[in-house]
Amino acid sequence: MMNDRRFGTAAASLLAAVLVLSSCADQDDDSYVDNHAGHSPRGPETAEIIMPYGEGFEHLQGQPPEAVAETALLRLAHATPAQVEDQDAAAATLRGVVTPELWTQLRDDPASVVPTMTGPAWRAWDSAGGGVTVTVRQDEEQHPPDTDTTWTRKWVVTRQLAGSTSPLDTTYAVALRKISGQWRVSDLRLLG
> Dihedral sign, CA of 117, 118, 121, 124?
positive
Q: 79 with 106: CB under 8 angstroms?
A: no
Distance CA 96, CA 76 (A): 12
DSSP per residue over 110-156, as a string?
GGGTS----HHHHHHHHHTTS-EEEEEEE--S--PPP-SSEEEEEEE
CATH number assigned to the domain covering 64-191: 3.10.450
Backbone angles phi, psi at 183, to 5 degrees: -80, 130
Domain boundaries defined on the chain: 64-191
Can you give the pLDDT of all 192 residues of the chain as single tens digits?
545 555 444 444 443 333 333 333 343 333 333 444 444 444 444 444 446 788 889 999 999 999 999 999 999 999 999 998 889 999 999 999 999 999 999 999 999 999 888 788 889 999 999 999 999 999 988 899 999 999 999 999 999 999 999 999 999 999 999 998 899 999 999 997
